[in-house]
């Protein structure tokens, strides 16, 4: 038998099989490509779905579509940007839904677009600001964005400025010397008594509006941390009222100033206002650190209730009582135990 002829036949067969497999694979790939659009194109399709839902004035947000945009990640950002531009002035809910989907996408790209929306005079800017309070902002602000936020801080009603303070606090590229003094200047004039809402006034969750607004600034000073301490100390030294001194002490506490731990402890023990004591627990925990756990443990059975949230009931009629002090103490103990 001619073995060379047999070997040649085998090689030809192998080549033929290889070519067949290549054709099958190419055909399958072409079929998949035809069926599955690119992530960018799919994002445009989903944005169109969201906008259609907004135009139809549906009662519920299109959760599936929003989840798809979030899952597409950074590939969806150009389509979301385009959709937001198309929704400008439309008066539908679609712009808000797109902002909420954008907030679920991590990274600097989504942060940059959220900043652009937050610093624009449009209906979605408050939603974008709220989203930015919960993420570190590594991208630099433009001069126009920084001026917009500082102007908002100076001129808007106090209850609307806490989110701006928190966004500025989260901006890593804005030096403390540029953001802390204007935050203090807006904060101090609001530290006045009484701290209870007038009868019939809407309250924020289970604390009065004024305390909630002041606490938003407290959270902002907490986010800045140690770099805020020199500015807060200076402000406290020249504070004109006892209330301003007290709230600046709380601000120093959440910024991590160990020198005020005993003062914040006294506020918890002696202040007549339950909501001030509630804020002071965080300030004490941040200033005292893990060494403050023994004192906080004395508060875990405190039965002080919120006068706002404790009478609300579930649909099944079960009443949930909000125990302000013990809830705050337990939460702070858990955080401090992780630092040990």
Model confidence pLDDT, tens digit, residues 132-177: 999 999 999 999 999 999 999 999 888 889 999 999 999 999 999 9
Q: Looking at 268, 290, 312, which one is the last position of a domain?
A: 290
Cα–Cα distances in angstroms (integers) from residue 246 to residues 39, 59, 196, in the given order: 53, 46, 17
| Percent of the chain whose predicted confidence (pLDDT) is above 90 | 67
State pLDDT tens for residues 247-304: 999 999 999 999 999 999 999 999 999 999 999 999 999 999 999 999 999 999 999 9
State pLDDT tens for residues 185-225: 999 998 976 565 554 444 556 788 888 889 999 999 999 99
State pLDDT tens for residues 285-296: 999 999 999 999
Total number of domains constituting the chain:
2
Task: Say yes or no: 271 and 222 in one domain.
Answer: yes
The pLDDT-based confidence of 314 (bands split at 50, 70, 90) is low
pTM assigned to the model: 0.81
* Residue 32 maps to a domain: no
Task: Say yes or no: 96 and 150 in one domain.
Answer: no
Nearest alpha carbon to residue 300 among 282, 327, 336, 271: 327
Cross-strand partners of 204: 207
CB 148 within 8 A of CB 119: yes
- Interhelix angle for 274-288 vs 324-337, to 10°? 10
- 282-320 burial, b if ≥16 CB within 10 A, otherwise e? bbbbbbbeeebbebbeebeebebbbbbeeeeeeeeeeee
Task: Say yes or no: 123 and 145 in one domain.
Answer: no
Q: Looking at 139, 161, 192, which one is the last position of a domain?
A: 139
Q: What is the pLDDT of residue 267?
A: 97
Is the pLDDT confidence value at 228 over 50? yes
Task: Say yes or no: 213 and 154 in one domain.
Answer: yes
Give the separation between CA 116 and CA 106, rounded to whole angstroms.
16
Task: Say yes or no: 103 and 148 in one domain.
Answer: no
Task: Say yes or no: 119 and 53 in one domain.
Answer: yes
Two tokens, residue 205: 């969750």
* Residue 316 maps to a domain: no
């Amino acid at each position: 038998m001619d073995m060379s002829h047999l070997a040649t036949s085998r090689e030809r067969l192998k080549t033929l099989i290889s070519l067949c497999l290549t054709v099958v694979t190419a055909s399958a790939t072409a079929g998949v490509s035809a069926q599955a659009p690119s992530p960018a194109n799919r994002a445009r399709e989903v944005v169109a779905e969201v906008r259609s839902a907004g135009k139809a004035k549906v009662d519920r947000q299109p959760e599936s579509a929003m989840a798809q945009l979030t899952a597409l990640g950074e590939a969806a950002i150009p389509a979301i940007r385009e959709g937001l531009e198309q929704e400008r002035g439309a008066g539908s809910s679609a712009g808000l839904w797109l902002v909420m989907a954008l907030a679920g996408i991590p990274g600097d790209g989504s942060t940059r677009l959220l900043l652009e929306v937050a610093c624009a005079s449009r209906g979605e800017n408050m939603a974008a600001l709220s989203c930015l309070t919960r993420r570190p902002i590594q991208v630099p602000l433009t001069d126009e964005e920084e001026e917009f936020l500082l102007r908002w801080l100076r001129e808007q009603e106090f209850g609307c400025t806490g989110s701006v303070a928190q966004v500025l606090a989260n901006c890593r590229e804005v030096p403390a010397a540029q953001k802390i003094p204007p935050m203090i200047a807006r904060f101090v004039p609001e530290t006045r008594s009484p701290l209870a809402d007038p009868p019939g006034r809407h309250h924020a969750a289970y604390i009065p509006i004024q305390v909630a607004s002041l606490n938003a600034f407290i959270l902002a000073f907490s986010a800045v941390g140690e770099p805020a301490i020199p500015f807060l100390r200076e402000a406290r030294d020249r504070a004109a009222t006892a209330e301003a001194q007290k709230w600046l002490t709380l601000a120093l506490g959440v910024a991590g100033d160990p020198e005020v731990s005993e003062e914040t402890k006294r506020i918890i023990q002696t202040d007549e206002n339950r909501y001030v004591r509630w804020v002071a627990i965080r300030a004490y925990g941040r200033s005292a650190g893990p060494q403050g756990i023994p004192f906080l443990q004395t508060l875990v059975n405190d039965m002080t209730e919120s006068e706002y949230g404790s009478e609300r009931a579930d649909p099944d009629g079960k009443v949930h009582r909000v125990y302000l002090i013990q809830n705050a103490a337990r939460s702070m103990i858990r955080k401090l135990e992780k630092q040990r």
